[in-house]
Structure 1
């Protein structure tokens, strides 16, 4: 086989397959995932030990120059320290050689990423909620996952087995002929493989570099606005005036009765108790497995329905307009939290984002405060209030009477024309936002903005003497430690 040569048009794509390991392979998979968790906990304890030691020494009146040195959390530093400690640390003595080195690298890499996220969050350079200090992973609650980046990673010739380092040949539940044909035709290259236990079974996900041609959609000149809801999952209105409704399948509601019966059966069995050390009975494990299968079936049905919806939308329309919903805030409503979580609003937006990119489409995200439901799609008048229980929109200016969701979908579809003509304000990803202050001469430009000194960090904190290095990672770590 000729050497793989990356060319323009290659994208990074994942292929996920279910595994059918035997008892021995299942135990080996759990051992590798447990090794990754143990390495992660070791790294968190090794780094934070110096933090607590310095804090204790400060209470003793020890000077800053005599305090214990900070321990770095970069991946190379963690690997070097781990290789020295694995021979003497009692947590690894006697069994660390049973697993692949990639298992321990997975835990160390996750720990390095966790400390980086914590440092960026402390310095205000990370979006989203504030990240706390990395904590230890529990054996009961931690997700079983392990990533392989080196070694023998391939799909066998029959396309029914995969080969992973130290794990050997494992059978796949369904043939991987599509990926194997691409690899043999030099149209794809496997970069890494991640094994994960979720929904009651093992999966392997191949991260590949694939040559993909942009698929032309059915109606490239048509824009569609999608209004998501609980009563109706999606109301789609395109620029031609056509309105389509996608009913909400409500998979969780249909399974609630069965879940109640299964949970009642579990509660009557002798379950585990950590306080007394009581172990679960065989009947409890059997009943709990039955209840878990019900949850897994609901999750699989939901994922299948959302993939079919988003694939159909991304394959038909050239422009898709969606809302920037505050799903986390909506889940605080105890009356609608279960229905909102079952609908999967965030998953719909995530799938539409990457599927429209694959098809060469354009996705426009309306601002979170855009009044799509309060605005009249006929004349543009905006109502001051529109309670949620009012399902019919009645315009006081032009007398338009329309369903609330249909009116919102039409307003979203009209935003596509605003983004294309420049009448709206578009962001990096086509996000329409309201501008609080227009750009004028009083605003600082790139030429007039004062430059930041090279020796100061973004947060304005001083760099510690022993951390004066040129790498960005070391500067980020020093700034976080000064704020800790």
Structure 2
């Protein structure tokens, strides 16, 4: 039975940097390698069974005489692994059983996603068949769901199965206080290496703190948020006031020159592959050091981006009741274009535009605010915020000139105003959202904060029960576009000379 979040509780995650000793780091890497070994071993078995049954079917072998099929669920993979581990991995007892279960869970989820994608039951792009994992290509990671998983009382150590007590680089007081108060319970812990240091992310369920009302009405209860490459956020009110404009931090662009230098240096060094023969070779120590420096730069870029996104989204949900954003197809925006669009695609990825809506999705629920998602085809940028006339703009046009002679306005501000007006009917207050459903296994969700509710989560509930991200998915209300079609309507081209004459009175 899939785990369900109890009524009045929500899923969150707390992430702490670790300072393991040399012995503990070797043990962590051993657990990550064990998870990767179990994944690759069972994937090879799955592929072998599929190929064998396909060959037997081509030879006309009856179904009852064919090689038995191998189950792809987590429980089936775990049963098969337990029968084979003594011969396939006689050293298996060195690591926690959760390490092998972590790899099997990843394989089960990958196979399930591939199967659902083939049947058309999974939204999004097509999912390929799971690939083998290499320690040089995949970040080291291991997940624990049972055993001694806790935050120690000194608030500077965490305890994990077999690994023992590990010192944290930062204080764990935020999570420790909630556990001591009985308003949080740890479900799982994931240890991961990002190229610079080790992190431990706790998936927890917490008792939601619902703000039933705000002490005072904010100056601008309804705002529209336009995201972009040049300015990360442009926030405006329905009355046309531009509230805030946050420039894009562009951390990847700032580190681009240093990355380019290091990557060119790595290309001249002895890497893992011989470019002349295309065969594998042992890399040089200098190449490995260069790769470590590259990984650290990418980790720093990701941290800067994550910090900026969390800062601006938290400020938004605390200061406004209704936030309106666009449903951007970020993947489609950066999918094509060739060499001439390479810089724009890089800037779109550097801004992490799609991540903003995800963060707002769960933060609005925590702060009793409301997130409204405008239809993807709503022409917020091409519609005049004063007279509602529509004018076609190119990407290079940073100022909106209305064809009816309205005063010029910044295109991002114009879009934010149009978005804000979509949320005006909802300005009476936010909507409280809570987790739904209950489970007998979770009848005492507070507990002592140690360990997991289930011994192992089913495949389809790992992400829902807490996952690695610091949120739980929430439904977002879509708003119609008020009869402003854009798909089939040909928008008029803008005559800059004529419009400037109307605005300024000069030819």
Choose from 283, 290, 293 the match for 1:287. 290
User: What corresponds to 1:181 in structure 2?
Assistant: 177
User: What corresponds to 1:57 in structure 2?
Assistant: 56
CA distance in 2, matches of 1:390, 1:327: 20
CA distance in 2, matches of 1:156, 1:175: 11
Provide closer, same or farther for how the CA distance between residues 242 and 102 of structure 1 changes in structure 2, counting only shifts above 3 A.
Answer: same
Structure 1 residue 246, shift from structure 2 partner: 0.9
Structure 1 residue 53, shift from structure 2 partner: 1.2
Offset from partner CA, 1:319-352 (integer Å, 9 cap, x none): 1111111111221332401111111101111111
Q: Equivalent residues in 2 for 1:391-470 (5 A)?
A: 391-417=398-424, 429-433=476-480
Q: Equivalent residues in 2 for 1:73-152 (5 A)?
A: 73-89=72-88, 92-93=89-90, 95-152=91-148
User: What corresponds to 2:41 in structure 1?
Assistant: 42
CA distance in 1, matches of 2:480, 2:52: 48
User: What corresponds to 1:164 in structure 2?
Assistant: 160
CA distance in 2, matches of 1:117, 1:376: 43
Provide closer, same or farther for how the CA distance between residues 414 and 435 of structure 1 changes in structure 2, counting only shifts above 3 A.
Answer: closer
Specify the SS of the correspondent of 2:138. Answer: coil
Q: Equivalent residues in 2 for 1:341-356 (5 A)?
A: 341-356=349-364
CA distance in 2, matches of 1:391, 1:178: 43
User: What corresponds to 1:11 in structure 2?
Assistant: 10
- Please say which of residues 21-30 and 8-17 is displaced more in the overlay: 8-17
User: What corresponds to 1:197 in structure 2?
Assistant: 193
Specify the SS of the correspondent of 1:55. Answer: helix
CA distance in 1, matches of 2:73, 2:271: 42
Structure 1 residue 210, shift from structure 2 partner: 1.6
Specify the SS of the correspondent of 2:342. Answer: coil
CA distance in 2, matches of 1:286, 1:66: 54
Asked whether the equivalents of residues 376 and 382 of structure 1 are also in contact (C-alpha less than 8 Å), the reply is: yes
User: What corresponds to 2:390 in structure 1?
Assistant: 382
CA distance in 2, matches of 1:47, 1:309: 46
CA distance in 1, matches of 2:479, 2:344: 27
Asked whether the equivalents of residues 99 and 142 of structure 2 are also in contact (C-alpha less than 8 Å), the reply is: yes
Structure 1 residue 420, shift from structure 2 partner: 7.0
Asked whether the equivalents of residues 222 and 239 of structure 1 are also in contact (C-alpha less than 8 Å), the reply is: no
User: What corresponds to 2:365 in structure 1?
Assistant: 357
Provide closer, same or farther for how the CA distance between residues 278 and 107 of structure 1 changes in structure 2, counting only shifts above 3 A.
Answer: closer
CA distance in 2, matches of 1:74, 1:285: 38
Structure 1 residue 133, shift from structure 2 partner: 2.2
Asked whether the equivalents of residues 375 and 382 of structure 1 are also in contact (C-alpha less than 8 Å), the reply is: yes
Structure 1 residue 375, shift from structure 2 partner: 0.8
User: What corresponds to 1:307 in structure 2?
Assistant: 310
Offset from partner CA, 1:372-415 (integer Å, 9 cap, x none): 111111111223x2211222212223534211111111111111
Structure 1 residue 175, shift from structure 2 partner: 1.4
TM-score under structure 1 normalisation? Answer: 0.81
Q: Equivalent residues in 2 for 1:205-220 (5 A)?
A: 205-215=201-211, 219=217
- Please say which of residues 278-287 and 144-153 is displaced more in the overlay: 278-287
2:253 is the counterpart of 1:253: yes
CA distance in 1, matches of 2:65, 2:118: 26
Structure 1 residue 435, shift from structure 2 partner: 10
Aligned residues: 422
Asked whether the equivalents of residues 419 and 432 of structure 1 are also in contact (C-alpha less than 8 Å), the reply is: no
Q: Which runs of 4+ in 1 moved over 4 A?
A: 215-221, 274-277, 418-421, 433-436
CA distance in 2, matches of 1:291, 1:13: 31
Structure 1 residue 120, shift from structure 2 partner: 1.7
User: What corresponds to 2:374 in structure 1?
Assistant: 366
Asked whether the equivalents of residues 324 and 419 of structure 2 are also in contact (C-alpha less than 8 Å), the reply is: yes
Structure 1 residue 150, shift from structure 2 partner: 0.9
Asked whether the equivalents of residues 391 and 403 of structure 1 are also in contact (C-alpha less than 8 Å), the reply is: yes
Asked whether the equivalents of residues 266 and 284 of structure 1 are also in contact (C-alpha less than 8 Å), the reply is: yes
Asked whether the equivalents of residues 235 and 406 of structure 1 are also in contact (C-alpha less than 8 Å), the reply is: yes
Asked whether the equivalents of residues 34 and 95 of structure 2 are also in contact (C-alpha less than 8 Å), the reply is: yes
In the alignment, structure 2 segments of 5+ residues that lack a partner are 429-473, 484-507
User: What corresponds to 1:222 in structure 2?
Assistant: 221
CA distance in 2, matches of 1:360, 1:293: 38
Output the aligned Cα RMSD. 2.4
2:236 is the counterpart of 1:237: yes
- Identify which of structures 1 and 2 has the higher relative contact order when contacts are C-alpha pairs closer than 8 Å and 6+ apart: 2
